[in-house]
Structure 1
Amino acid sequence: MRVIRKYANRRLYDTQQSRYVTLEDLRRLILDEEPFRVEDAKSGEDLTRTILLSIIIEQEQADGESEVFSNDLLAQFIRVYDMAQPLPLARYLEQGTQLMLEQQKRMQDQWKQAMRHSPMDLMREMAEENMRFWQKTIGQGQANADEKDDGKDDEKTDDEPGKS
């Protein structure tokens, strides 16, 4: 696991890459699903949770239109901390978020699968399917018409209109 050290001057140092990093760099590690641990450079105390919360705060402030946590929701979270018997909120949120992310990934995978061909390939495939459908339909219609014609031949008599 990658170790990030936080120094007293608030700077974050990536021990694997031997360079200073920003919260944005850590956010990219999260998006790339690369695990890391943030520790205090002096004491070794685990600061990962605090840094993750800082990343969320930055995200929330970066773009006011895509807020995940409304003021009401944040106030409700604070109330949960003050409950005599706290709800299993963390587990519920983790499971719900995991389910949502899995569904989103599944939808993205299905979309990628559907779009693996160029739009022209998709149009060609659809046209070919339509042709097969219509050929089958016309073939069945022709077979039905032939059966009807065969039945009419059997019903013909020598009596022709106009003859007495």
Structure 2
Amino acid sequence: MTPVENYHDWLRDAHAMEKQAESMLSKMSERLEHYPALKLQLERHLEETRQQQALLEEVLSRNGISTSSFKDAMSKIVALGQAVSGMMTPDEVVKGAISSYVFEHFEIACYTSLIAAAEAAGDPQGVEVFKSIRQQEQAMADWAAAHLPELTAAFLNRSAQPGVEAKK
């Protein structure tokens, strides 16, 4: 494949990745009951994710590329599986927060690669879009890292109290 063909394929992957992020963030925020700071941050990032999808769709359109319905559908199925598996654990909120932190770093890596691919493909507008999105993903990862200890402590505190739900 040429650099441009790879770039186009990775754009489709990024779109599917953001569809997966939307599903994961939506499901997790819907289930949260006892962790308002986390819920608020997830809702904020969910809105950013939807804006990121729109930006990606503009880059795809400008490059004459259609999205991949298959990749988008598969990413949603993966997100659903992650949500369902998380619901089965007694420490759902902690595992979900850890998974979210890991996923943010996956996105950061993908956008870092897309920046290089956009440069190689001669798409300077794409470079700027991906840098902007990567900055948002980094901010979310930083927030998660900073708040994971307090979230864990809150979970442990709730979990230690008889009759108090801690998982969500």
TM-score under structure 2 normalisation? 0.29
Higher relative contact order by CA 8 Å / sep ≥ 6: 1 or 2?
2
- Superposition TM-score, scaled by structure 1 size: 0.29
